[in-house]
């Protein structure tokens, strides 16, 4: 699967330990080196700002998509290749999903998880067949992964839908896994039936 543009969801805060910003910076640099365009929420705060700055500094292309109402709060980044200012959070998420060939979640808070689980549920329904990866820095997401396993063992989550979320502790491995991703047959079949 060729990944020309990746959408990254991440915290509007930087987290309590330097490792989070370090990995956000590493991911931004790696995307630039691989000539993969970064799509993200367009802010200049927290891990979002670190990620975008690193990608730009390494010569990469960065597209931000930000709701008008958040321009002040998330400090719309002025140095991006392109900043799309949209009318709502819904439009932002739809636009980011439309632009990207795959999705990565770095550590973040409620917004990051909301965005991650939305693209996962869209994958589960076959609305897209793009890879979704969790970049698990410093085991931050270990409880989330455990919860997914519990979802399977308790019968709320189909094992094949659990597999929709790729998982690695470093950007190089995660990008490799995403590049080798084959969507589950179920998702592909639903996708074909619905002709989405
Ligand atoms: P957070 O992980 O809470 O720091 O938020 C990260 C990003 O998610 C920020 O760009 C927020 O604007 C965005 N965000 C926050 N809440 C939501 C939501 N309900 N739906 C979609 N995105 C959100």
Domains contained in the chain, CATH given: 5-139+166-179 (3.40.50.450)
- Looking at the CA of residue 93, tell me the nearest atom of ligand 1: 21
Q: For ligand 1, what atom is nearest to the CA of residue 13?
A: 4
Question: Tell me: the pLDDT tens digits for 77-136?
Answer: 999 999 999 999 999 999 999 999 999 999 999 999 999 999 999 999 999 999 999 999
Q: What is the pLDDT of residues 38-78, one digit of tens each?
A: 999 999 999 999 999 999 999 999 999 999 999 999 999 99
Average per-residue pLDDT for the chain: 94
> How much of the chain, in percent, has pLDDT values that exceed 90?
92
DSSP class of 138: G
Q: How far is the CA of 64 from the centre of ligand 1 (A)?
A: 14
The answer, yes or no, to whether any atom of ligand 1 lies below 6 A from the CB of 42, is no
Is pTM beyond 0.85 here?
yes
pLDDT confidence bin for 196, thresholds 50/70/90: very low
């Amino acid at each position: 699967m060729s990944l020309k543009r990746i959408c990254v969801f991440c915290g509007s805060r930087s987290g309590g330990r330097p490792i989070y910003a370090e990995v956000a910076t590493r991911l931004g640099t790696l995307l630039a080196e691989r000539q993969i365009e970064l799509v993200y929420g367009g802010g200049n705060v927290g891990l979002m700002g670190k990620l975008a700055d690193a990608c730009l500094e390494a010569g990469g292309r960065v597209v931000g998509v930000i709701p008008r109402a958040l321009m002040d709060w998330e400090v719309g980044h002025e140095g991006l290749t392109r900043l799309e200012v949209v009318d709502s959070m819904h439009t932002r998420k739809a636009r980011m999903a439309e632009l990207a060939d795959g999705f990565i979640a770095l550590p973040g808070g409620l917004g990051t998880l909301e965005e991650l689980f939305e693209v996962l549920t869209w994958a589960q329904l076959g609305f897209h067949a793009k890879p979704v990866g969790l970049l698990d820095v410093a085991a931050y997401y270990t409880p989330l992964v455990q919860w997914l396993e519990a979802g399977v063992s308790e019968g709320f989550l189909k094992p094949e839908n659990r597999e929709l979320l790729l998982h690695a502790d470093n950007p190089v491995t995660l990008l490799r896994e995403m590049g080798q991703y084959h969507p589950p047959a179920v998702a592909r079949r639903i996708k074909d039936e619905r002709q989405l």
